[in-house]
A and B are shown apart, each in its own frame.
Chain A
Amino acid sequence: MSVYVKSYRRSSRGRRWLSLALQYLCMALILVVMLFPFFWLLASSLKSPEDLEALPPVWWPEHPAFSSYRTVFEVTPFARAILNSLVVTVSSTVGILLTSIMAGYVFAKHQFRGKNALFVGVLATMMVPQFVMLIPLYRMMVALHLDNTYPGLILPNLANGFGIFLMRQFIAGIPDELLEAARLDGASEWTLLWRVVVPLLRPAAAALVLFAFVFQWNNFLWPLSMVYSREMSTVVLSLNGLRTYTSSVTFTNIVMAGTAIGILPSVVLTLWAQRYFIEGISLTGIKG
């Protein structure tokens, strides 16, 4: 009996060990696959033209050279592109935050006729592909002489269905009693929104700010259609330009250096605040 128990226990411990080892192996495999492109991006940006032309390919340069990170600012107005991207992204993010909080509050806490139909309409805008609006938007901006300008880049991105939806979901979770109490104290709706609702909304607002920032920073189709001068180019647009005009393999380091700089804000924000992203996705996913 005791022998049986011992051997059983040993085999169970062995199985547990095996299962753990398998889990770590799986994790290592996924990490390698997911991180390899980042590794190649970094390694290539540090290679010399000789490394880039070498066959078989060099994996990590023997003498990492940071010069391409300077060159990228010389071959293209990359500093200007960073400034442009920041101006456009920050403005749209602020706009999206304000419009989403206000509309989200009304959809969550006010009653009026046709509310549901209107909200369904807002949700429906999330399903519409960006390119469906592209031609009229482009013509609109040309007619207003706003093509190739900051307002032209920013205006269509000051509100979106996702933001309103996200804010409504969060605000719906705030107890009505809290609002009623403030109303009895004579607070106007405006005060109520900014003094009572918004302070409770901080994690949700953080999620929205991060999402809006990252998606505006990454936007390609709209600047591609609208911008025609190098001075108004955004970072993402410049990256595409860099790649197109430096097709020779010896310039890979410059393209990769630009790309590394271009993804930096998104990477830093994601690592710094991933908790909020995850919460945001989870909320839209579960209750969607």
Chain B
Amino acid sequence: MRQGQRSLIRSRSLATVGFLSPGLGLLIVFVAVPILLTAWISLHQGSMAIPYSRMRWVGFSNYAAILEQPIFRTALLNVFLYSLANLVIILPLAILLGLFLYQAQIYGRNLLRTVLFLPYMIPTVAVAIVWGYLYEPQYGPLNEILGWLHLPAQGWLGSVHEAMLSLVILNVWQTLGYYVVMVVAGLTEIPQEYYEAAALDGAGWWRRHWSITLPLLRRTLAFVFVILTINTLQVFDPVYVLTQGSPVNSTDVAAYEMYITAFNYGQAGLASAMAMVMLAIVLVLSLLQLRLFRSL
């Protein structure tokens, strides 16, 4: 009996190791090790093709170099603005649409949810291509619609002032549904009795949601906030497809700058330093946000 039990336990710990190793092994080889290597390259001078052993140690001078470059500082600032604009637009819209989807007593709620969610699942490259044509100043429909409303035609992606906003609108259109689904999931977790009690106490719609929905939705909103930040700080596809950072670097973002520094200019050291800076920013911001929301 003892013998059997011991062999059972041994076979279970064998299974522990056996089941974990494929997944963890792949994550170590293709995520953990590359992160360490990126950190290592960022402290060295080297092109994309030079072997690791022949890279020259330069300490933190790559970091100093990129932070002195006005172009990388612009790219950082741009991606912050992009992220912030997305947060400011998506967060309230997701709450409102989530409430609408959850509460509306109309036919076609499922259709609405599907349609909202659909763009999130299609390739961002495809979304960018379609919106590129929508924004097209001469042949595109958006300026035509503005014309019907007697509003002036806009430069959209071609305008220094509007290009970034155009990319934000594209992202809101594509990803809003995903966050709405998360909000709806959070809403279903709130016990209905709270609302009934509040209604009995004479609380109106606004007050009910301000004092019940928002506080009880805190964890969901924290999650939305963090995911939104992580996702928007890495924006790359629409920039690469539509603007390549133009006009006048107004849509240059960190991921794009890192990509061309590595693959167009071949400067692996500088590009790795950029990647590490972004990684640090993403990690610090998401941990800060999580802590902040937990303490609320």
B157 at the binding interface (Cβ < 8 Å): no
Specify which chain A residues have a CB less than 8 angstroms from the CB of B210 in the assembled complex. Answer: none
Q: With A138-B48, A239-B123 as known contacts, state yes or no: A131 contacts B112, CB within 8 Å.
A: no
A274 touches B114 (CB 8 A): yes
Q: A24 near B31 (CB under 8 angstroms)?
A: no
Task: Please report which residues of chain A, range 39-83, place their CB below 8 angstroms from some CB of chain B when the two chains form the complex.
Answer: 40-41, 44, 52-53, 55-57, 59
**A142-B75 Cα distance, complex, nearest whole Å:** 29
Per-residue CB proximity of B221-235 to A under 8 Å, as 1/0? 001100000100110
Q: Which of B1-21 touch A at CB < 8 Å? A: 8, 11-16, 18-20
- Interchain CB contact under 8 A, A37 and B118: no
CB closest residue in chain B, given A122: B27
Residue A164 is within 8 A (CB to CB) of chain B in the complex: yes
CA–CA, A129 and B218, complex, Å: 25
Q: How far is the CB of B238 from chain A (nearest CB, A)?
A: 10
In the complex, what residues of A have CB within 8 A of residue B131's CB? 37
CA distance A143 to B32 in the complex (A): 18
CB <8 Å contact, B132 and A40: no
Contact B282 A218 (CB under 8 A): no
Nearest neighbor of A33 in chain B, beta-carbon distance: B173
Residues from chain B with a CB closer than 8 A to the CB of A57 are 139-141, 144
Across chains A and B, the number of contacting residue pairs, with CB separation under 8 Å, is 271
How far apart sit A221 and B127, CA to CA, in the bound complex (Å)?
15
Of the residues A99, A142, A224, contact of B26 by C-beta under 8 Å: A99
Q: For the complex, give the distance between the alpha carbons of A267 and B219 in Å.
A: 30
In the complex, whether A98 has a CB less than 8 A from a CB of chain B is yes
Q: Are B185 and A135 in contact (CB under 8 A)?
A: no
Complex Cα–Cα for A160 and B28 (A): 11
Alpha-carbon distance between A189 and B12 when the two chains are bound, in angstroms: 6
A267 and B19: CB pair below 8 A? no
Tell yes or no: B275 within 8 A of A by CB: yes
Q: How far is the CB of B191 from chain A (nearest CB, A)?
A: 14
Q: Are B121 and A127 in contact (CB under 8 A)?
A: no
25 pairs from A and B in contact (CB 8 Å cutoff)? A23-B100, A23-B104, A26-B100, A31-B112, A34-B115, A55-B138, A129-B230, A129-B279, A131-B236, A132-B35, A132-B278, A135-B272, A136-B33, A136-B34, A136-B38, A139-B37, A183-B8, A189-B12, A190-B15, A220-B240, A252-B133, A256-B133, A271-B118, A278-B185, A281-B181
Residues of B within 8 A of A (CB): 8, 11-16, 18-20, 22-24, 26-27, 30-35, 37-38, 41, 48-49, 97, 100, 104-106, 108, 111-119, 121-127, 129-134, 136, 138-141, 144, 147, 173, 177-178, 181-182, 184-186, 188-189, 219-220, 223-224, 230, 233-234, 236-237, 240-241, 255, 258-259, 262-263, 268, 271-272, 275-276, 278-279, 282-283, 286
8 interchain residue pairs of minimum CB distance = A189-B15, A282-B185, A103-B23, A136-B37, A99-B23, A133-B34, A159-B26, A102-B19
List 17 other contacts, CB 8 Å, given A129-B275, A136-B41.
A31-B112, A38-B130, A40-B130, A56-B144, A59-B141, A99-B22, A99-B26, A106-B20, A133-B31, A133-B38, A135-B271, A136-B33, A220-B236, A252-B133, A255-B129, A270-B114, A285-B182
Chain A: residues with CB nearer than 8 A to chain B?
20, 23-24, 26-27, 30-31, 33-38, 40-41, 44, 52-53, 55-57, 59, 95, 98-100, 102-103, 105-106, 110, 112, 118, 121-122, 125, 127-140, 142, 155-156, 158-161, 164, 183, 188-190, 193, 214, 217-218, 220-221, 224-225, 235-236, 239-240, 243, 249, 252, 255-256, 259, 262-263, 266-267, 269-271, 274, 277-278, 281-282, 285-286, 288
